[in-house]
A and B are shown apart, each in its own frame.
Chain A
Amino acid sequence: MTTVAVPSVQPHTATETAVARPARSAVFSTLTRRRFALSAHTPREIVVPLLTPILFADVIAPALAKAIPATRGIDYQSFVAVGTIGLLVPLSCVLGGIGMIVDRESGAQRDLLAAPASRSLMVFGNLTVALAVSLFQVVALMGASVARGSTFDTAPSGWLWAAAAVVGLATLMHGFAEILAARIKKQEEYVGAAPPVALLPWFLAGSFFPISAMPAGLTVIAKILPVTHALALMRYGLVDHDGRGLHDIWGMTNTTAMAFLSLVVVAVSAAAVLALSTRVFTRAAIS
């Protein structure tokens, strides 16, 4: 039996009763580190979403590459390897929403909501971790893909385009995850709702083939999807230096201009969904 020393709480002094309001940066840092710690204690959140894309990149893509040697001059295995990033990032970010529901239902979220800080910082703390995890997963996926023979451009500008696209796509999908997690009460319901959000756009975004190969109606839909723009940007940065994927979307000749336009599409959609998710989260936090 544990013996509890009955606490003799010290009376407030004049100094102690001056109520502290923590700096936003300190709150953000604490919330981010907390989410990192929680994710580190649930490695399935990081590892499980990697399995399917790595299987695509390392098993299906090399096999298909033997049947389809090159797509518009691009090694098909490398083409598909980039396409699987469009599966990995949404899958990882959206499945991360389960952790948010766990936090709300059986974690410390309610104590955080009672903290003297803006509640929107919780969304940004979660986002920071989602971005870090996504970038780590993309590097792991690309490493696995290179090990099987894929080749990627190593020019810094190319990596920057690809990284910007990954960050934009992860922000967008994390925003969707926050909205879903705030709206859906139970984990079981969330697991049912997540795949359409994470996977459906990927099938239409030109992951395994150029969008120009699809029927005209589906091509129009593909051009609207931010995932299509993100994949075209990644390919432009890593494997498709002539920007054929961007040309399929915009039909222009200036590749850099098309890349900027696609980056704007990804960034604006990510910002809009993130703003909406912050609003939904802070409203859902109050009955």
Chain B
Amino acid sequence: MMSTANGGQPAIEVRALTKVYASGVEAVKGLSFDVAPGEVFGLLGPNGAGKSTTIGMLTTTVSPTSGTARVAGSDVADDPIGVRAASAVVFQDPVVDRTLTGQRNLEIHARLWGVARSDIGARISQLAVRFGLTDLLDRAVESYSGGQRRRLEIARSLLSNPRVLFLDEPTVGLDPRIRHELLDVIGALRAGGDMTIVLTTHYLDEAERLCDRVAIVHEGRIVALDRPQALLEALGPEIVELRVHGPGEPLLSFLRERAVIGDGAFVLGSTLTLPLRGTPAHELQAVVAEFGAAVVATTTRPPSLDDVYLNLTGARLAVAA
């Protein structure tokens, strides 16, 4: 079991969690991880990786086939209402009553989560100011822009001051400006208190920017789990990306034979991604020249989570998503 900084229990404990749908699709295959109180934990992977199914099980809208999960001390199978009382969700798709006003949407959520009637007005006002919703609350939600609706949903999720907040692909479908605006909002939630946040995303920059730790999920399994920086450091300080004429495998084999690249090197079509670990770039280029490959383009750059994902799964996140 994970030991937390304050010696307490993890906010989320997941053990061998598995989901097989009635159709036979095995969406989640024995996931195990812990999330510490106050941590921002990312589930990173393409569509179909099993992220939303995992969130569904943790929010008790998907029943696990096997395994266990506890959220804020409550078991998702034995005490689902306890789990739901301690958590809130921002869904991937818009989940609002469009014909009702923003104020009414917020009031309904607050009452269902047991916020004291006397506190509801003040809590809504406070969150409306913080999320720039004050002038919108009396309008029907159907008149909101995508970004305004998203802010309303995030504000709604905070009304009950949840111990655990689930954000399921919160920026999908938003234009870049609104997306970055929301990332600032979520980043501030991270900085603000001891709320535990579980964020699913297939955007690498979101995971790098917001998450304390990231679990990379591929076909229902966690293939890596660490701090984003640690995952990047595993690929070394710098990466050389070579695009060659024809398949890249022969050149990759040659470079391995000459021991100028480490285990993290991989090839996708005619593009080789080569982490540099101690080998100077000019030395690598000399070995490439010795092989006689026709190099179309050479790029040197820091590693990204996409490289981590590609190295682990053989697919690019952006393509897979």
Partner-B contacts on A (CB < 8 A): 2-12, 16-17, 19-23, 26-27, 30-31, 34, 37-38, 41-42, 106-118, 285-287
Measured between alpha carbons, how far is A267 from B39 in the docked complex, in Å?
53
State A16–B112 Cα separation when bound (angstroms): 16
Given the contacts A38-B100, A108-B95, A20 and B193 also touching, CB distance less than 8 Å: no
Which B residues touch A12, using CB under 8 A? 161, 163, 193-195
Given A7-B185, A9-B189: A2 touches B132 (CB 8 Å cut-off): yes
> Interface range on chain B: under 10, 10 to 19, 20 to 34, or 35 or more?
35 or more
Across-interface contacts of A37 in B (CB, < 8 A): 97, 100, 104
CB-based contact B104/A114 at 8 Å: no
Interchain nearest-CB distance for B196 vs A (Å): 10
Determine whether the beta carbon of B21 is less than 8 Å from that of A7.
no
Q: List 28 A-B contacts (CB under 8 A).
A: A2-B147, A3-B132, A5-B132, A6-B187, A7-B130, A7-B158, A8-B192, A12-B194, A16-B161, A19-B82, A20-B85, A30-B108, A30-B111, A34-B97, A37-B100, A38-B97, A41-B99, A41-B100, A107-B98, A109-B95, A110-B91, A112-B112, A113-B61, A114-B60, A114-B84, A114-B88, A116-B113, A117-B81
Mask: chain B, 54-94; 1 = CB below 8 Å from A; 0 = not: 00100111110000000010000000011011111101001
Q: Which chain B residue has the least Cβ–Cβ distance from A26?
A: B111
Quick check: is B105 within 8 A (CB to CB) of the other chain?
yes
Residues of chain B within 8 A (CB-CB) of A2 are: 132, 147-148
Nearest chain B residue, comparing its CB with the CB of A7: B130
Knowing A111-B91, A112-B112, A114-B88 are in contact, say whether A4-B151 is a contact too (CB < 8 A): yes
Q: Which of B84-133 contact A (CB under 8 A)?
A: 84-89, 91, 94-100, 104-105, 108-109, 111-116, 127, 129-132
* Contact (A108, B188) CB under 8 Å given A19-B82, A21-B81: no
A-B residue pair count with CB separations less than 8 angstroms? 147
Residues of chain B with a CB closer than 8 A to A114's CB: 59-61, 84, 87-89
Instruction: Tell me, in angstroms, the Cα distance from A188 to B241 when the chains sit together.
Output: 52
**Which residues from B are CB-within-8-Å of A42?**
99
> A-contacting residues of B (Cβ < 8 Å)?
21, 53, 56, 59-63, 72, 81-82, 84-89, 91, 94-100, 104-105, 108-109, 111-116, 127, 129-132, 147-148, 151, 156, 158, 160-161, 163, 181, 184-185, 187-189, 191-195
**Given contacts A8-B130, A111-B156, is CB(A20)–CB(B99) below 8 Å?**
no
Q: When the two chains form the complex, which single residue of A11, A31, A110, A287 contacts B193, counting CB atoms closer than 8 Å?
A: A11
On whether the beta carbons of B97 and A108 are closer than 8 Å, the reply is yes
Partner of A6, one of B104, B114, B127, B188: B188
Least distance between B99 CB and chain A CB atoms (Å):
4
Q: How far is the CA of A276 from the CA of B169 in the complex (A)?
A: 35
Select which of A3, A16, A21, A107 is within 8 A of B96 by beta carbon.
Answer: A107
Known: A8-B191, A114-B60, A287-B62. 17 other contacts (CB 8 A): A3-B132, A4-B185, A7-B158, A9-B158, A9-B189, A19-B82, A20-B85, A34-B97, A38-B97, A38-B100, A41-B100, A42-B99, A107-B96, A110-B61, A111-B156, A113-B61, A286-B60
